[in-house]
Amino acid sequence: MAVDPVCKMEVDEKTTPLKSEYQGKIYYFCAPGCKHEFDKNPEKYLKDERS
């Protein structure tokens, strides 16, 4: 299971059609709204991942 970087919900990466690639890594989303927010500003959601 992957974790949606926006809302932190678990997402089954094998079944979700909602995904984005950023800096060579694929991120998976639970809902279109989460994907849209991530696509607008990925760094906002990845800063916690990098600290």
Question: Can you give the pLDDT at residue 47?
Answer: 82
pLDDT by residue (tens digit) across 1-51?
999 999 999 999 999 999 999 999 999 999 999 999 999 999 999 986 655
Please report how the helices 42-50 and 32-40 are oriented relative to each other, as an axis angle in degrees rounded to 10.
Answer: 90
Query: Within the chain, what is the greatest distance between any pair of CA atoms?
Result: 29
HSE value, Cβ hemisphere, 13 Å, CA-based, for 17: 1
Q: Report the SS3 class of residue 37.
A: helix
Task: Give 31's DSSP letter.
Answer: S
Question: Can you give the pLDDT at residue 49?
Answer: 64
Which ranges of 1-51 would DSSP assign to H, the alpha helix? 32-40, 42-50
